[in-house]
Amino acid sequence: MFYTTLGTSGIRVSRLCFGSLTLGPLQAGLSIAAGAAVIRRALELGVNFIDTAQSYANYPYIRAALHGWPGAVVIATKSYDYTAAGMARSLEEARRELDRDVIDIFLLHEQESALTLAGHRPALEYLLEARERGLVRAAGISSHAVAAVRAAAVMPEVDIIHPLYNQQGLGILDGSQAEMLAALTLAQRNGKGIYAMKALGGGHLAHRAQQALAFVLATPAIDAVAVGMQSIAEVEVNAAWVCGREPAPEWLAAVQGRKRQLLIEDWCQGCGACVQRCPQGALQLVAGRAVVDPARCILCGYCAGVCRDFCIKVI
Ligand code: SF4
Ligand code: SF4
């Protein structure tokens, strides 16, 4: 495995970050033991960086995977909270559920612009105070938007940025791949640690996954890349690719041809909450039911989290 330091944070991570959204209730819905085994295999292959979020509801998988693991592991998590009190609760939840005194990286989840950053200022202030007290090592944002990355790039108090970035700019809310790259380059110059998400464009680049991953890893502004994985075969293949090795044919065969998609169950009540939630405009109500446009959907799973009837899943 290759390792790097996230900007000027001093936090040393593997270039492959385990994106854990895929394991839990919003996506594969693996048992805790099965999900923990997938993470554990990644750790055995040298991955020491795990990305999660409060909204992924998957802290128990990470806690189980790390139980008894002797190595140091960096965990990044995120919360949508915008108040100081809310962020304090989110941080305490992460410390308790992950069984950690210190959370390595805590991000404001899914920022869209300078305006949303201003609206989340009390939560960020809380994280900065927590950083001072040693409860958090680094603070920052995650985002699908160029405007938010550009704004965070010039905020000295931001340590880490977790942007959406891929070869074709798929899923970027407000600009092109080139505009995101310019914002990331500025952020890197200003010392931010940057780990990208959606290198495979939510599955749209899966037919040339190795090349798409290599493209993001070869981008000088990017330190590491989070890849969502839900099987040991996916871990084996991604770890091999990041290390510049060819994966064993049996692992490659196990992942090839597996296509993820958004499933909307037929008991959908047509409430529209998922339509409102989708940042990509990929959902609409048709004849009283939610319908997805696969060309726009990047399989982020955010819609699944707001469906009170558990109708949506990425499978
Ligand atoms: S949130 Fe659930 S019930 Fe409401 S429209 Fe979407 S899928 Fe249907
Ligand atoms: S439909 Fe759901 S999974 Fe697809 S982009 Fe929208 S929120 Fe994400």
Which residues make beta-bridge pairs with 261? none
- CA–chain centroid gap for 258, Å, is 21
Q: Is 51 left (phi over 0), alpha (psi -120 to 50) or beta?
A: beta
Q: Which atom of ligand 2 lies at the shortest distance from residue 312's CA? A: 2
Residue 170 has a pLDDT of 86
Angle at 307 between CA 306 and CA 313, to 5 degrees: 100
In this structure, the number of other CB atoms found within 10 A of the CB of residue 120 comes to 22
Phi, psi (degrees; rounded to nearest 5) at 131? -65, -40
Residues having CB closer than 6 A to ligand 2 are 262, 277-278, 280, 282-283, 292, 297-303
Residue 256 has a pLDDT of 82
* Residue from 271, 283, 286, 306 to probe ligand 1 pocket by mutation (most atoms less than 8 Å from CB): 271
Relative to the alpha carbon of 170, which ligand is closest? 2
Phi, psi (degrees; rounded to nearest 5) at 202? 65, 30
Q: Is 277 in the pocket of ligand 1 (CB under 6 A)?
A: no
Residue 27 has a pLDDT of 84
Burial class (CB in 10 A: 0-12, 13-18, 19+), 267: exposed
Q: Pick the residue whose CA is nearest to atom 8 on ligand 1.
A: 268
Relative to the alpha carbon of 283, which ligand is closest? 2
Write down the number of H helices and E strands in the chain: 12, 14
Q: Which atom of ligand 1 lies at the shortest distance from residue 264's CA? A: 7
What residue ranges do the domains of the chain occupy? 3-255, 262-314
Residue 315 has a pLDDT of 76
Does the domain spanning 3-255 belong to CATH 3.20.20.100?
A: yes
In the predicted model, residues of the chain with pLDDT beneath 50 are: none
189-214: pLDDT as tens digits: 999 999 999 998 877 787 788 999 99
Q: Is 307 in the pocket of ligand 1 (CB under 6 A)?
A: yes
140: which 2 tokens? 């920052």
Hey, do 3-255 and 262-314 end up sharing a CATH topology, with the first three levels equal? Answer: no
Residue 309 has a pLDDT of 81
Does the domain spanning 262-314 belong to CATH 3.30.230.10?
A: no
